[in-house]
Amino acid sequence: MRSFPSLVILCALALVGPAVASASAEDGVPTGQPMPDPTSPLAVVQGTHKPQTSDGVIGQVPDDDAWAPPPFARNRFDTTVLRTWQVVPGVDAVVWDEVTPRGPIHASLLTIKMSAANVSIDYGNAGPVKQTAPMKKIVRRNGAIAGVNGDFFDIGDTGAPLGVGRDRTRGLLSGRLSGWNSAFYVTKQGHVKIGPITVRTKVAGRPNLVITNYNSPSVQPQKIGLYTAAWGYTSGYRVTDGVRKGVRMALIRGGKVVRTSTKLPKGTKITGKMLIGRGKGAKQLAKLKRGMKVKLTTSVSKSPQMVITGNQFLLRDGLIDVVDDRVMHPRTAVGIDRDTRTVLLLVIDGRQDISRGYTMVELANKMIELGADEALNLDGGGSSTMVALNRKGTSTILNSPSGGVQRYVANGIVVKYHGG
């Protein structure tokens, strides 16, 4: 792919009805009742639907019918670079406006040279997995100089991220076996990658006991989830989507079952590892008796130092991997220019007069324009936030969040500087 040093980036900017399934009585829902609509927030948490934003706001659709610009004209625009500066050596910021046939755009970009001395990228959050905070606070708490919001999250309930999260220092914080695994990660060798990442928990001697979720906002129907001290205090039946029948928990400490119950605790600190099952999963946990030895082993595919997930790959090996060119939202994306070992963090504002937002295809095209070979869509809407040190060294919000203020989010990609 093309490589774009900072000056060239500036020049480039200047140029240019689901089926309804029946519930099972084993899951605590009356037999024959329809399962949740796959576009509902519940389905999002369970991983059966991939939303474009955590807030679920319906995106604006461009009025291309009023004047349908030909494909070659859609990417033509007038650009005004508002400001550009070096955040720290190896990290640069650019903020600009665009005038496009579909309406105005306000954009913010951070470029991070992974070859630069004293610069690293990490996962950042507010502490416990299910605790949310404004991005500016997350950046500060993690000792970072910049960052953007990260994964989609359970905005209406637990606050926990939907996918995989691993911190360089604290290790694995959240994850799932399948359903939300499109990731940006840093390998053992320090290389940045975009690709699928899965989390697998095995129970020694019990191959039929399959654990599908690790500190996730919801245990999937008929499945088993694992919760650790990183989750924080127990959430009761919020992690079973309010379902109280056909559920069971088993608490493991020191490699032994110390407690089992059909009631889920709320507001207690997790000490040890708590397994929670629904339906068939609950029946499997019923076989674990107090005093039994249970050895749990959790692994992350590809053994990354750091990982964070989004909902969809935008680019894979330079090719666009999305098709939606109609729904516009505020967007956050991360991309990788392999030639220059540069990470691109991009925020496109939306839902405002100054900026209409981007479609997924537009976002992918912009990442190509900026030199990315691989790119991942992160949470958007009111979550889209970029924070960085300004010229005076003060932490500043670079973009214009659509809600007028910073949203409390679950996590983010943070940039750290280890120099003087």
Q: What is the pLDDT of residues 232-249, one digit of tens each?
A: 999 999 999 999 999 999
Residues of the chain with pLDDT under 50: 1-8, 11, 14-41
Average pLDDT over all residues of the chain: 89
Predicted pLDDT of residue 68: 57
What are the sequence ranges of the domains in the chain?
Answer: 50-197+303-417, 199-300
Predicted pLDDT of residue 50: 79
Q: What is the pLDDT of residues 158-208, one digit of tens each?
A: 999 999 999 999 999 999 999 899 999 999 999 999 999 999 999 999 998
CATH number 2.60.120 given to 199-300:
yes
Predicted pLDDT of residue 47: 57
Predicted pLDDT of residue 14: 46
Predicted pLDDT of residue 64: 74
Predicted pLDDT of residue 344: 98
SS (H, E, C) the chain: CCCCCHHHHHHHHHHCCCCCCECCHHHCCCCCCECCCCCCHHHHHHCCCCCCCCCCCCCECCCCCCCCCCHHHHCCCEEEEEEEEEEECCEEEEEEEEEECCEEEEEEEEEEECCCCCEEEEEEECCCCCCCEEHHHHHHHCCCCEEEECCCECCCCCCCECCCEEECCCEEEEEECCCCCEEEEECCCCCEEEEECCEEEEECCCCCCCEEEECCCCCCCCCEEEECHHHCEEEHHHHHCCCCCCEEEEEEECCEEEEEECCCCEEEECCCEEEEEECHHHHHHCCCCCCCECCEEEEECCCCCEEEEECEEEEECCEECCCCCCCEECEEEEEEECCCCEEEEEEECCCECCECCECHHHHHHHHHHCCCCEEEECCCHHHCCEEEECCCCCEEECCCCCCCCCCEECEEEEEEECCC
Predicted pLDDT of residue 72: 58
